[in-house]
Amino acid sequence: MTPEFEEVEAVTYHDKLEAVHAAIRQPVKDSLNPHFNSTFASLNECNRVVADAVREVGGCDYWQRAVYNPESKCYEMETVFAAGGTEQVLSRHPFRDDPNPQKSASASTYARRYSLLSAFNLAAEDDDGNQAARPSDSASGVEAAKQRMWAAVKGYSQRMGIDPKQVIADMQSSPEWREDADYFEMTAMRYENA
């Protein structure tokens, strides 16, 4: 008598990644941003929900690493996902290495958090509540961050001898372009260090 075997469909890298995304329970907003009087999910909370989902799915892993990018002359925090013998960078966010250890650690933590948010589609921002109740503060914060970014892009363009309008046009046509303070701040840091 020969045993009967079920045909098992091969589970691919993308199947595992999709399963992890489906298993994620959105993070709790456990921290306060005193500048905007809004709540957000901390890096620990973001890591917790991703680790729980990865553990639930099994057969996969994720990690983060800082890699120096010589083109932009700054570090990039990469979030890597691995499954089935394949590993890919899901997200990368630039950050500045500062001589002040506290500022450097803060920038690294910020980049780790935002790389996780992007990689696993986490909703960790205050998308209602305080932001809606204080539109003038929120708008002024976004505008200030945008002005800092434009100044950084212009300074970079002058140093490189290129047209700032072209740099800006390229940025705005990128799929990563977002109209929010966090994106503007990260982009400003990238061009300030370039």
DSSP line for 10-49? PPPHHHHHHHHHHHPPPPP--EEETTTTEEE--HHHHHHH
CA angle 153, 158, 164 (to 5 degrees): 50
Give me the amino acid identity at 134: R
Does residue 36 sit within a domain? Answer: yes
- Lowest mean pLDDT: which of 40-49, 87-96, 98-107, 135-144? 135-144
**Cα→Cα distances 86→17, 20, 51, 68, 77, Å:** 11, 15, 18, 23, 19
pLDDT tens by residue, 18-68: 999 999 998 888 877 666 667 788 899 999 999 999 999 999 999 999 999
Residue pair 49/122 in contact by the 8 Å Cβ criterion: yes
* Closest listed residue to residue 131, CA positions, set 62, 43, 29, 47: 29
Residues 154 and 58 in one domain: no
Does residue 142 sit within a domain? Answer: yes
Does residue 29 sit within a domain? Answer: yes
Instruction: Name the more confident of 146 and 14.
Output: 14
Does residue 57 sit within a domain? Answer: yes
* Closest listed residue to residue 44, CA positions, set 112, 96, 101, 118: 112
Residue pair 43/116 in contact by the 8 Å Cβ criterion: yes
Task: For residue 20, give its domain range.
Answer: 10-131
Residues 125 and 138 in one domain: no
Share the mean pLDDT of the chain.
Answer: 81
**d(C-alpha 78, C-alpha 154), whole Å:** 27
Q: What is the DSSP string of 121-154?
A: T---S--STHHHH-HHHHHHHHHHHHHHHHHHHH
Alpha carbon 9 to its chain's center: 33
Residue with tokens 């091969």: 10
pLDDT at 53: 96
CB count in 10 Å sphere of residue 120: 23
Residues 20 and 115 in one domain: yes
